[in-house]
């Protein structure tokens, strides 16, 4: 993608995600691959009111080439996801209530989801009978160390569609901004369903 197109897509995604309530305050960060590297949102901006000035351009090694402001602290994790999945061209990181709460409620390192028709919103999933496995990683303020943990897990068990950071939120990715948005919306719906199911079962 050309830089301008990538930024336009992320601005549009930011408006949509903000309307969903998935990036409260100035939370979240977005990125997209470009012809020369990738662009990522600068830190501290309302993701529903992004402009072209709110993005930084990085080369393929994660070095800043242009842009003003402070890069997101989680830029290293975005770069790691692109390096792990060479088909990924967009990463959207959100902080929804469902994703944040579920990531804390599930004490294992994987959220297992099955039985929902909406699973088919995820590329490669053909049936509600399949089991979706979303990896969960403990939150860590050392993003480089967190990225290393994601990389280590991917090497023995490839990750698809998205990952959860405990008490933090979701990272969703895809082969295009449109596919990434579909994965994000599909996963958020599934998380909301699982959260409601858990609450209902607890009240029986």
The pLDDT tens digits of the residues spanning 114-132 come to: 999 999 999 999 999 999 9
Fold type of domain 3-203: L-fuculose-1-phosphate Aldolase (3.40.225)
What is d(CA 167, CA 146) in angstroms, rounded to the nearest whole number? 14
Per the CB < 8 A criterion, the answer to whether 47 and 21 are in contact is no
The 10s digit of each residue's pLDDT in 53-100 is 999 999 888 888 888 788 888 899 999 999 999 999 999 999 999 999
Q: Answer yes or no: is 168 a known binding residue.
A: no
Widest Cα–Cα separation across the chain: 56
Predicted structure pTM score: 0.95
Q: Answer yes or no: is 93 a known binding residue.
A: yes
Q: Which helix (H) or strand (E) holds 9?
A: helix 3-20
If you average pLDDT over every residue of the chain, what do you get?
95
Report the pLDDT value the prediction gives residue 29, as an integer from 0 to 100. 95
Cβ count near 154 (within 10 Å): 17
What is d(CA 163, CA 91) in angstroms, rounded to the nearest whole number? 11
Spatial CB neighbours of 91, under 8 Å, sequence gap ≥ 6: 30, 31, 32, 78, 81, 82, 171, 172, 173, 180
What residue spans of 37-91 are helical by DSSP H? 75-84
């Amino acid at each position: 993608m050309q830089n301008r197109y990538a930024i336009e897509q992320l601005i549009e995604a930011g408006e949509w995600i903000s309307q969903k309530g998935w990036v409260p305050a100035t939370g979240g960060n977005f990125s997209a691959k470009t012809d020369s590297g990738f662009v990522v949102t600068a830190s501290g901006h309302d993701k529903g009111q992004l402009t072209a000035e709110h993005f930084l351009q990085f080369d393929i090694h994660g070095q800043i080439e242009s842009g003003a402001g402070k890069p997101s602290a989680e830029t290293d994790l975005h770069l790691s996801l692109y390096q792990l999945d060479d088909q990924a061209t967009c990463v959207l990181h959100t902080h929804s209530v469902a994703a944040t709460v579920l990531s804390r409620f599930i004490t294992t390192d994987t959220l297992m989801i099955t039985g929902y028709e909406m699973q088919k919103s995820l590329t490669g999933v053909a049936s509600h009978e399949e089991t979706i496995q979303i990896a969960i990683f403990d939150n860590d303020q050392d993003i480089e160390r967190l990225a290393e943990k994601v990389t280590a897990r991917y090497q023995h068990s490839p990750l698809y569609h998205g990952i959860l950071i405990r008490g933090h939120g979701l990272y969703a990715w895809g082969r295009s901004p449109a596919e990434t948005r579909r994965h994000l919306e599909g996963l958020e719906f599934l998380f909301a369903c699982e959260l409601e199911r858990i609450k209902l079962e607890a009240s029986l």
